[in-house]
Structure formats: structure tokens, C-alpha cells
Structure 1
């Protein structure tokens, strides 16, 4: 793809989350806590077609990347990369300097995007006390983190 993808992000407001929940469940990702405070989720579209969902939790200057789901027909087409960049930029706009995540299936993808594998017990307390760390994600999930670049924070 030679040109930049024009991914549009629309924040998911309370009561509009059923399609997002369904996407999470079909991807076998946790959906039980998406309506709790401190979470920001988006529906991503390309040419008016939904291509992905995702978001983050805010914990001071640390953020927890949450539930990046790309519609199956758009996988392996760099949509995930474009969506991740938008999520990182939105998080940085809210003052997040470091992003954390847990994954059971996508560590290779996130490593390619600059995330480093870390020991789970090295996570900051506000991150390690989240619902995801305490039980929504299995203990076998890979913990990764990344400092958001100055460009993402502009």
C-alpha cells in the first residue's frame, strides 16, 4: 500500500458498545469490564467500513492498551499497524507516556511495533492492579511495554 491509510476513530459512548463486545467475544478477548471508568474505546473505519476496535485504560502517565481487534477480512493488510498508531496518538494526547499490554497471541506483532517483552511483576503498581492483570487475562499472557515517542505525544 503506497498511500497512507485514512483510518477514522470514533469514540464508543456508553450504550453503543454491543458490536464492540461481540467483536471482543468472537476474538476471545475479555469484555466484562469495558464500561468501567477510566477506559476509552474506539471503533475504527476505513472508507466508512468498520475495520477494527480498540482502546486503552488511563492510569496517570501509564496506559494499558486494551482489546485491539481487527476485522478478519482486514488482517495482514497493515490495518492493525495503522489502528495501533492512532490509539497510541490518542493516548499520548491524554498524557500517557508509557503503554503496557498483555497478549496471548500477538506478541510478534507488538514487538514489530516497538514493544518489549518484560517480566509481569515489573509492571507499575497501577497497571498490575488492573482487572486485566488481576484476572481477566491468564497468567500465561505476555506482558509488554513501550515508551510513547515524542511524535505520538504531539
Structure 2
């Protein structure tokens, strides 16, 4: 099942790092046991000829990705803003929104728009795809969190997205 998933998505990733991150997230989501997740991850990466210099440290890589996945979009935005030494009001002004709104986004009390996320990626020097994936996956996760058929829904949605893209 995982092998099919990663080969199906290989074509949309030009950047091996982004693809590797995607695979790690997928493996972690599907394989709850972290030791088993590490074994599966190594197998997948070997099958797609992605050599990790840190293959001996896969547990460390998986742990870091888990930490990243567990962060909210708001937490990532706040950390990035603070690392750049920017004040909340400075970033809010660049986005042309009220400081209180940006504060709520960072605290998770309000959701940013997709356009704001794209602009924030530029302002905070974050990879646009990384931040969009974080933002969209968070939206989906919150929507499906209490559903018994969440995993099946995600599989169906992936098929639907592929179908819709093929129609363009």
C-alpha cells in the first residue's frame, strides 16, 4: 500500500528533499510504531533511489518530522517570525491585516487564508510548498479528525484529485 502511494506521487516532486519529507509524513501517518516506520521508510527510500546521508539516523529524522507535523501552522509562523526578528505589527502591516488578526492566526484562534499563507511564506523566507502543505494538511486533519472513515476518505480524495488533474 505505501509503495503504491509513494510511486504514484513521485512525479509531482522535482525536489528530492520535498519528496523525502512527504514520504516520511505518509509513513508516520500510516505506521504508528516508530521503529517499524523507520524500517518502512528506509525500504521506500531505497526503492526510489533516494540515498539519505543520514540513513543511520532515520529515527532522528522521523522524530524531527513528527515534531514538525505536530506543530500548527500558527506555531511555525510565530517561530519563523521570531527567528527573523520581526514584530507582529511589522508582518501584519506587510500582509495589510490587523495585528490582532495575525496574533489569532499564530495562536490558532483563527485560520489564515491561502493567499495570506503564500504571502507569509515569502515574508518569512519559508518554502511556499512546505507552508502550503502544512496549512492544507492541517485543514484536512481537523475536518477528518473525528471521522471513523478518515483514512478511506483520504484515499478517495487522493484518487479524486488525480482524476481532476488528469481532466485539465
TM-score in terms of structure 1 length:
0.30
| Bigger radius of gyration among the two | 2
Q: Say which structure is richer in strand.
A: 1
Which structure is higher in RCO with an 8 Å CA cutoff and minimum separation 6? 1
Q: Say which structure is richer in helix.
A: 2
